[in-house]
Amino acid sequence: MKKILAIESSCDETAAAVVADGRSVLSNIISSQIARHKLFGGVVPEIASRKHIEKINQVVSAALDEAGMTLTQVDAVAVTKGPGLVGALLVGVSFAKALAFAAGKPLIGVNHIEGHIAANYISNPRLEPPFLCLVVSGGHTHLVRVADYGVYEVLGRTLDDAAGEAFDKVARAIGLGYPGGPKIEALAKLGNPKAIPFPRAKISGSALDFSFSGLKSAVLNYMNGAHMRKERIVEADLAASFQQAVIDVLVGNLMKAAAESDTKCIALAGGVTANQTLRTAVEQACVSAGYTFYCPEPLLCTDNAAMIGAAAYTSWQKGQLSDWSLNADPALQLGAI
């Protein structure tokens, strides 16, 4: 059994995990900085880097302790190399390189988006490529055909804001604070998703691309209009109608891609897929169209290191190890080595 110590520090979570054979989680420690960034309404990169430095040693030790192991007992060290905030990534990359070098272990740099996709292998150990995956997080909205382990075809992507970014911006406009996704979801439960007819963006040219900035502007215009007319805004209806507009577009494109695809398996990945209304909508669409539905448990949808360990295992099996020149790459693309 190959045991990988994995480290994740691309944004505002300092995380470490030990994962065996890419699918079995022996420990999964996540130290969130949300409380700190909340004060500023979003992630402050400089604060994120400093907090990672303060926490990383403790988080890695806790992951080894919880797995009942010492560093000498792990077989490799993996780390998120990108995409993400460069200063935040550098903390994890430098720490992982130092650990691997000192302990004489192989080093595996991992793409964060690939990690989100690989979270599905943990929650559903029987899942194997090919499958379609909708990756929706704070920084990314991708519709991906996973042709094989580590082989990706991006079928659609956002042309402007990521879906999570839209959740966060609308939450800020309503005054719900950061991070917006879970707060919009909670408020939306009390509202009517059909109350306000927000637009569902259609992109000319590429049928599978997304755009969320028009929707975000429509929400802001609606709020400004209501303020000017001195009308009361029913915030729960606003949240529910906005959330439904995002979900309709995500599910619409996903099902369009599935109809054109050779696979009958659909998976979800990324922080936004912790949203229960989205999970249910995709599951129902899959059931009625006859597709098999996969989704990681909510804790593995948002940022964590177990998913990095899962993705690292497939890289290792393909012989894709990193050398000591490994560096953070804030704009790393899916599929790039």
Only segment of 19-27, 30-38, 85-93, 134-142 that touches ligand KG4 (CB under 6 A): 134-142
Which chain residues interact with Zn ion by CB under 5 A? Answer: 137, 303
Q: Which pair of tokens denotes residue 184?
A: 């919009």
Interaction partner, residue 22 (Zn ion, ligand KG4, none; CB < 5-8 Å by kind)? none
Compute the least distance from the CB of residue 137 to ligand KG4, in Å: 3
Among the listed residues 303, 306, 308, 334, the single contact to ligand KG4 using CB under 6 A: 303
The strand ranges marked E within the chain are 3-8, 13-20, 24-32, 76-82, 107-111, 131-136, 141-148, 151-157, 265-269, 292-294
Q: Is 171 in contact with 188 (CB distance < 8 Å)?
A: no
Compute the least distance from the CB of residue 119 to ligand KG4, in Å: 10
Which lies closer to ligand KG4 via its Cβ, residue 102 or residue 190? 190
Interaction partner, residue 168 (Zn ion, ligand KG4, none; CB < 5-8 Å by kind)? ligand KG4
Which DSSP state fits 332?
A: P
Residues 6+ apart with CB under 8 A from 85: 10, 11, 43, 45, 48, 49, 330
C-alpha span between 10 and 27 (Å, rounded): 19
Residues counted in the chain: 337
270 binds ligand KG4 (CB under 6 A): yes
Among the listed residues 271, 294, 315, 322, the single contact to ligand KG4 using CB under 6 A: 271
Which lies closer to Zn ion via its Cβ, residue 218 or residue 305? 305
C-alpha span between 221 and 216 (Å, rounded): 9
Question: At CA 159, angle to CA 154 and CA 160, rounded to 5?
Answer: 135
Residues 6+ apart with CB under 8 A from 98: none
22 binds ligand KG4 (CB under 6 A): no
168 binds ligand KG4 (CB under 6 A): yes
What are the distances in angstroms from CA 61 to CA 97, 99, 137, 209, 277?
A: 16, 12, 28, 42, 36
88 binds ligand KG4 (CB under 6 A): no
Residues 6+ apart with CB under 8 A from 94: none
181 binds ligand KG4 (CB under 6 A): yes
Compute the least distance from the CB of residue 9 to Zn ion, in Å: 11
Q: How are strands ordered across the β-sheet holding 292-294?
A: 151-157, 141-148, 131-136, 265-269, 292-294
Interaction partner, residue 302 (ligand KG4, Zn ion, none; CB < 5-8 Å by kind)? ligand KG4
Compute the least distance from the CB of residue 69 to ligand KG4, in Å: 26
Among the listed residues 106, 182, 214, 335, the single contact to ligand KG4 using CB under 6 A: 182
The candidate with the shortest Cα–Cα distance to 136, out of 282, 322, 331, is 282
Among the listed residues 11, 29, 282, 305, the single contact to ligand KG4 using CB under 6 A: 11
8 binds ligand KG4 (CB under 6 A): no
Among the listed residues 179, 191, 296, 309, the single contact to ligand KG4 using CB under 6 A: 179
* Binding footprint of ligand KG4 on the chain (CB under 6 A): 11, 137-139, 164, 167-168, 179-182, 185, 270-272, 274-275, 302-303
